[in-house]
Structure 1
Amino acid sequence: MTTTEITTGTNEFESTIGGVTVRGRAHSLSAWFVLALRLMMGYAFLYSGWDKIAAAEPFSATGYLLNAVPAESPLVGLFHWMGTTPWFADFLAVAVPWGELLVGLALLAGAFTRLAAFFGAFMMLMFYFGNWDVAHGLINGDFAYMLVFLSVAAFGAGRILGLDALVERYEIDGQALVEKYPRLRYILG
């Protein structure tokens, strides 16, 4: 009879912020769940971006910025400014759909994952304030998706069946790319 064992490796993590240290140990199956989160958010953003780019009418955020943001939102003034400032509204007409598409592609490929996840989290933070509704508390879907993006970045999801694992190991003059340029660790992973 053959058995398959799940092996545990170095699935331990630790972080200290402000003098408080947290430690944890992930199950070996955690890698699959982190991969699933990366692919889910990648698909969602790719689809959303492509839907805006391929639409019959050009994308514009102006109507949303001026009419859909609740008056109770702490950033309603900022959203109003964005919608009434022509150059910024034009910028958003390109940045939102193409940003979503590029974040989605990067996450699906596992390339520049931390950078993509950062921009995805930033977009979700803006959607959180733009869709402000605290009737059921401060946590809503936009906030939860922001945390998913941050988790994808924190766990280095691009190293799991992603191109980041290959890019990090790429050698220049016999030295791994991330060893030669350590700051790349902030955008890869």
Structure 2
Amino acid sequence: MGTENDIQKSYKGNTLTMSLVALVRAFRPLQWVKNGLVFLPFVFAVDVAWSTDDLSQVPDLLVKLFLIASAFCALSSAVYLFNDLLDRAGDQLHPIKRNRPIASGMVGAPLAGSVMIILAVVALAVMVLVEPLLATAGGLYALINIGYSLGLKQVVLLDAFAVTSGYVIRAVAG
């Protein structure tokens, strides 16, 4: 993805478009592939959750998994917004991170905070609708990542535990 200057040049004065592109960049969509882990258990659930002899359940299971993955995309984006809001001042001084949408000022803190809350609420609501217990997994994922942003990333081993647990939670949620 380009820098903020590339975005400004591409959309020549269309502030709304620039803001939307910057906001979507702040969601870090390239990281969403990690949420594909929710599909992994499906492969290993043959003859447990579904059978190759009766594929009638597969479409419903795949829709649920797609909703779960989408909810984790929204939740992980909310977590990235939270982290970038906390780290904004430090990121502004960093040669690469200063180009992030929040650090560069392309996305304001009030907008980022509002969207963060909306994404988290929608994600948890979708999880409750799909399977209420999933909201517990989503809440745990959010809490661990908030802890990571608030300081666990500075503590050796706890940082690795926090990052690794995100993968495990997504796989278990599937």
Shorter-chain TM-score bucket reads: 0.3 to 0.5
Q: What is the TM-score with the length of structure 2 in the denominator?
A: 0.33
Q: What is the TM-score with the length of structure 1 in the denominator?
A: 0.31
| Structure 1 or 2: more strand by fraction | 1
Between structure 1 and structure 2, the one with the greater Rg is 1
| Structure 1 or 2: more helix by fraction | 2
